[in-house]
Amino acid sequence: MKKILFVASEGVPFIKTGGLADVVGSLPKCIDSRYFDVRVILPKYKCMKPAMQEKLQYVTHFQMDYNWGSAYVGVFEAVEDGIHYYFIDNEEYFSGPKPYTDDPRYEIERYAYFSRAALSILPAIDFKPDVIHCHDWQTGLIPVYVKEVFNGNEFYQGIKTVFTIHNLKFQGRWCIDQVKGIVGLPDQFYTSDKLEAYGDVNLLKGGLVYADAITTVSDTYAEEIKTAFFGEGLDGLLCARSGDLRGIVNGIDYTDFNPETDPHIVKQYDASNFRKEKIKNKRALQAELGLKQDDKKMMIGLVSRLTDQKGLDLIAYVMDELCQDDIQLVVLGTGEERYENMFRHFAWKYGDKVSANIFYSDALSHKIYAACDAFLMPSLFEPCGLSQLMSLRYGTLPIVRETGGLKDTVQPYNVYEGTGTGFSFANYNAHEMLHTIRFAEEVYYKKKREWNKIVDRAMAADFSWSVSAKKYQEMYDWLIG
């Protein structure tokens, strides 16, 4: 039995702020338990829901050398869906009202502590992993510690590390003088070939330098981050390590996102009956949101953080033009104030066409995926993206920009070959996006049979975690040898 340890700053169902938590919660369940014993270490945040906290059982505690002194390390355990979860308890670091703070220096201190504690508890829980799978900058020190700090202890020898980049934009950077003592490494580690980048300590860079293998969340993003535009200052290092870098697309949980069983939607449907049943969800959503009741009106959904990264500046530029078209637009999400107010304005101006829901609701997001005909996702960059996978699952055709995971998961409709699962455009250009939306409108209104065939192919695409899990298993096998 091969032993794999996931270490991350968040994971479903215990704590979630973004897509990282979905990966950490879903992937371990899909790795073949006949051959792999997969366990997970998370921080024990005080802001976890009480129902989740009640599942945690105390295991042990001890003092650990840290930050010029010693620090308390408590260990708790829970079993969820057959997976063992361990939690690092320290109220000084994890008792805040939210999982993350806005203080970058403090964030480095608490996750340096977490990384050291995650390794220190392994003998106490009697689990020596063959591979430690680290996720994002919060765990970037673990590959460094395994090779340079804990390697003198026989228990830790032979452990391999994988580092997964979920979003390269977030790196865990701060000035060297202030965090040198916290990180607990000698001066020779703060050089450009190790943890230093542009005068700062960079924890994500540490993970990239020292990990035995590097992954990111789509093939295209793995190529993009080797360029200056997407590389966030680390493109040179990623080019140097390109032989150890691979892209594996994220999946989604096909039990949570299943139009046949979804409890949030008015009418369940599947690939065999969507032509008749899916429309009932559109009628219900039009009624709920006060939009004009019209079965034939093309409805476009947008569920997103309202930020530049998600391509909202493109939408803002052509919003008035788009609202002249024979469509309805349903928006759900929060973000930058200018985009929140922009959608509110257009919902006021075109009340029967635009619905601006400036909040987040899991139930409403499911209704949008089920009710809409198309789903708009014109991101500037998108390491993987999950919304387009959900819309494919519900037969709601994605309209995306060809970047990162969007390019890897949405096959653009080809009129001549009769292939494709959605619509896409290449350049970050508002009118190119609008042209693609209007091409989708043309197919929807004038070639409905072709549209339904695209829906057939979209719903047949398999982006469940089981597909991705096999690729991770191959990588673990290759690493362990």
Residues 6+ apart with CB under 8 A from 423: 374, 397, 398, 399, 400, 410, 412, 413, 436, 437, 439, 440
Task: Give the integer Cα–Cα distance in Å for 237 and 312.
Answer: 31
Q: Give me the domains of the chain, ranges plus CATH numbers.
A: 2-251+466-480 (3.40.50.2000), 274-462 (3.40.50.2000)
- What is the residue whose two structure tokens read 């699962």? 421
Task: Give the integer Cα–Cα distance in Å for 147 and 372.
Answer: 51
Query: pTM, whole model, 2 decimals?
Result: 0.92
pLDDT at 180: 86
Q: Residue 205 belongs to what H/E stretch? A: helix 203-210
Per-residue pLDDT of the chain (481 residues), as tens digits, is 999 999 999 999 999 988 899 899 999 999 999 999 999 999 999 999 999 999 999 999 999 988 778 899 999 999 999 999 999 999 999 999 999 999 999 999 999 999 999 999 999 999 999 999 999 999 999 999 999 999 999 999 999 999 999 989 999 999 999 888 888 899 999 999 999 999 999 999 999 999 999 999 999 999 999 999 999 999 999 999 999 999 999 999 898 899 999 999 999 999 999 999 999 999 999 999 999 999 999 999 999 999 999 999 999 999 999 999 999 999 999 999 999 999 999 999 999 999 999 998 999 999 999 999 999 999 999 999 999 999 999 999 999 999 999 999 999 999 999 999 999 999 999 999 999 999 999 999 999 999 999 999 999 999 999 999 999 999 999 999 8
Name residue 138's amino acid. Q
Neighbours of 91 (CB within 10 A): 11
